[in-house]
Amino acid sequence: MPGKRISELTALSGAGSANDDDVVIFDTTASETKRISRSQLAEGMQADVQVLTNKTIAIGSNTVTGTTAQFNTALTDNDFATLAGSEALTNKTINARTNTLQGSDASRLHWFKDLAALLADTTLVASTGDIVQTRAEGFSYTVAATGAADQNVTTAGGVKLYFATVGYGQDRTRYRTGGGGVRQTTAAGGWAFINDANHEPWGWSATSPVALSGTNLQVNSDFSVGEVGAFSVTPDESFAALGVTLGASVGIPASVISGFAPISGRVVGGASGILFNTSTGNVTSQTVDQPNGTITVVHGGISHTDSNASTVMVSQLGSPSVGRLTVATQSRTGFVLQYTRDLACRIACTTTTPGAEVFTVTESSIVGTISAAWITVTNCVRVTFPAVGNNYPDAVVMLSRDAPTRYMFTLDTQGSTTCDIFFYDTAGTLITAATSSMVFYFIKRGNFPAALPASGNLGFVQRDMVPIDFNQLFGASANLWLSFAHKYP
């Protein structure tokens, strides 16, 4: 072959070459040009160590083999996990709803963040007997058959569940409970659960466990779904000694407690009125009108539609002849006490001029006007006094010791507001003209309104079943004890 440069030779493609084709090669050892077949050249190159960079190996058309140890050696920052091997996995998250976790009972386990997420779920795919759990509450359920009718819970997606926790009641019913004591140490000081070294409440709202609801008390559980089971509220011995009675309108989460207690106290003279025990918080106000002898009490409205169903009871202290306490009026929201006495006064004729006689009334014991006048037609002294509902028919007249002349007298035509007095001399002759000797005391029994005495114990008053204002109910160490057990999904 004539001498040619390499660049002038005919090019041969890789696909057209054969193993026995020769390749020109310079042998550096012998310092001469030689030939070598393509297959011998490839064999020699395979024996050399090659560092490949920027290469892509197609796994689909190539095979990479090795042992687990060899692959772990090749992986410089971790180890491989194998299907049949025993490796400890850490920091892994398994989606229980899309993976099967098998145990001794062959049931799958499905996790949910909380009960609300479980009930709202529409994606759960589960088999009968699978276990469903909530992280927040720690509740466990088993999946019921699709045709079951006795399930306890059904998700929004239609998966039927039974309660899995045993010992929660009949028919797989789960209950949530709560308990604790609440206290208010001063009026309007605020109610709170007792939480100290010896007391710990549970089952109540973390943000608003107890608060006022009008004049009642409201407690809130820490869950808002379920069915009412049982609820109890009990006064401790301090409140019980005051006659406190409690009831509740029970719901989930809110239950409203109403309280009732008798109002009672000693009635004293002066402006003090009734010395109530104010710690029961059911007396709204009292107003004392000492000159007119009244004490007006306003309290929470009693439940009876008939105000007389809760009668105000009054007992007397001291002599009834001096004064008596009576109930003037009463309603569902209060009552008025009236201090009363028998009518007693001194009457004296101070002007005897015929047709212009004047009788002066002094030393009256009652509220209201008492007057006396000479009645010419019948020749008598007519005493006029206030009307009261239960005055007694008979009056008493006594001559004053300073009367110049001694008279005898008779009483006639005694009415509800008048009494006629006829005077006679010692011979029994009717006196037909007013005289200055007509000085006498007039007394009539009855509950006539009178001014409250300036001091002294007058009586005792009580009315039962008056509603409590919980903002005013308090006790330094008095408690209300609460507990509930409600059915929970």
Tens of pLDDT, residues 253-274:
999 999 999 999 999 999 999 9
Q: Which of 473, 472, 462 is nearest to 233 (CA)?
A: 473
- The reply to whether omega before 386 is within 30° of 0 (cis) is no
Mean pLDDT, rounded, for 345-374 = 95
Backbone angles phi, psi at 41, to 5 degrees: -65, -45
- Residue recorded with tokens 């009635």: 267
What distance in Å separates the CA atoms of residue 218 and residue 187, rounded to the nearest whole number?
17
pLDDT at 170 over 60: no
Residues 342, 365 contacting (CB under 8 angstroms) = yes
Residue with the larger pLDDT of the pair 13 and 394: 394
Q: Mean pLDDT across the chain, nearest whole number? A: 86
Picking from 482, 479, 487, the residue whose alpha carbon sits closest to that of residue 178 is 482
User: 182 — phi, psi (to 5°)?
Assistant: -115, 155
Q: Residue ranges of the alpha helices (H) in 231-388?
A: 237-241
Question: Distance between CA atoms of 93 and 111, rounded to whole angstroms?
Answer: 12
More confident residue, 197 or 95: 197
Helix (H, G, I), strand (E, B) or coil at 273: strand
pLDDT at residue 6 greater than cutoff 90: no
pLDDT at position 57 = 77
Torsion of CA 69, 75, 81, 86, to 10 degrees: 40
* Domain range list for the chain: 109-172, 179-261+474-487, 264-335+453-467, 341-449
pLDDT in tens, 101-124: 555 444 578 899 999 999 999 999
3-state secondary structure of 322: coil
Q: Which residue has the higher pLDDT, 394 or 256?
A: 256
**Range of lowest pLDDT (30-39, 190-199, 247-256, 342-351):** 30-39
Per-residue pLDDT, 248: 97
pLDDT given for residue 168 in this prediction: 45
Residue 183 has pLDDT above 70, yes or no: yes
Top-confidence residue, 417 or 4: 417
Quick one: tokens of 268? 């004293």
**Percentage of the chain exceeding pLDDT 70:** 88
